[in-house]
């Protein structure tokens, strides 16, 4: 008998359909044994993934915190824009360079707070800046070239780094969202725009 004829018969004959269901159930029981297996899928998924609502709430708080730190970073950069170097003796150019870096970091933090997808791009630059600055600050503190008051001005960058890393982590915990008007081609898997 052809498979299509058999499928047609099983779809139309209730006795045979009942028999195949019972045979399938018995085969499954024979393979798995007679022990009932509890469905643990909900508990497993609850432990594996955070609810999206919780992640979104946490991300919103992180974004507000990052925006505040970005504004603080900009406020710390403003004196250097006008020649003040907050407790350090530096040349005019070094003061301007510090102002440029402080301003760039503040704007990058604000940008990541507004659009969290940008946080991943900010993370590597900010992590490099804070890492190098930490090593140089330890050396400068040990040699007496800098005091703790000046080092305290770098806390905004450190806190910003922590918040940016947390936002990147929160972004990864969210399910991927599709952009409107963009669909995946089922055969090739490539994205294509919709006119």
Q: Is residue 44 part of a domain?
A: no
Higher-pLDDT residue of 187 and 136 is 136
Number of residues assigned to the chain: 195
Higher-pLDDT residue of 111 and 193 is 111
pLDDT at residue 151 in the model? 85
pLDDT at residue 63 in the model? 96
Q: Is residue 32 part of a domain?
A: no
Answer whether residue 161 shows pLDDT above 60: yes
Q: Which helix (H) or strand (E) holds 192?
A: strand 191-193
Look at residue 37 and give its three-state secondary structure.
coil
The number of beta carbons lying within 10 Å of the beta carbon of residue 16 is 13
Answer whether residue 73 shows pLDDT above 70: yes
**Residue 141 lies in domain:** 51-173
Closest C-alpha among 114, 49, 110, 113 to residue 75? 110
Q: How far apart are CA 172 and CA 153, in angstroms?
A: 31
Answer whether residue 189 shows pLDDT above 80: no
Answer whether residue 186 shows pLDDT above 80: no
- pLDDT tens digits for 164-173? 999 999 988 8
The domain tally of the chain equals 1
pLDDT at residue 134 in the model? 92
- pLDDT tens digits for 101-135? 889 999 999 999 999 999 999 999 999 999 999 99
Q: Is residue 86 part of a domain?
A: yes
Given a contact cutoff of 8 angstroms between Cβ atoms, the answer to whether 107 and 74 are in contact is yes
Q: Is residue 70 part of a domain?
A: yes
pLDDT at residue 192 in the model? 45
Q: Is residue 34 part of a domain?
A: no
pLDDT at residue 125 in the model? 94
Q: Is residue 14 part of a domain?
A: no
Q: Is residue 111 part of a domain?
A: yes
pLDDT at residue 180 in the model? 45
Q: Is residue 182 part of a domain?
A: no
- pLDDT tens digits for 13-72? 999 989 988 998 888 878 777 667 777 777 776 666 566 778 888 999 999 999 999 999
């Amino acid at each position: 008998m052809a498979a299509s004829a058999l499928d047609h018969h099983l779809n139309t004959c209730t006795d045979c359909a009942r028999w195949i269901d019972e045979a399938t159930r018995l085969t499954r029981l024979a393979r798995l044994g007679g022990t009932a297996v509890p469905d643990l899928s909900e508990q497993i998924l609850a432990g594996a993934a955070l609810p999206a609502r919780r992640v979104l709430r946490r991300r919103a708080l992180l974004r507000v915190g990052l925006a505040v730190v970005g504004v603080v970073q900009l406020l710390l950069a403003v004196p250097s824009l006008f020649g003040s170097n907050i407790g350090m003796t530096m040349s005019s150019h070094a003061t301007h360079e510090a102002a440029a870096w402080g301003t760039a970091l503040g704007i990058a933090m604000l940008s990541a707070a507004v659009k969290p997808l940008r946080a991943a791009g900010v993370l590597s630059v900010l992590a490099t800046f804070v890492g190098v600055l930490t090593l140089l600050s330890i050396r400068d503190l040990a040699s007496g070239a800098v005091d703790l008051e000046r080092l305290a001005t770098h806390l905004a960058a450190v806190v910003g780094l922590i918040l940016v890393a947390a936002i990147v982590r929160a972004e990864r915990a969210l399910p991927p969202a599709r952009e409107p008007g963009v669909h995946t081609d089922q055969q090739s898997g490539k994205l294509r725009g919709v006119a």
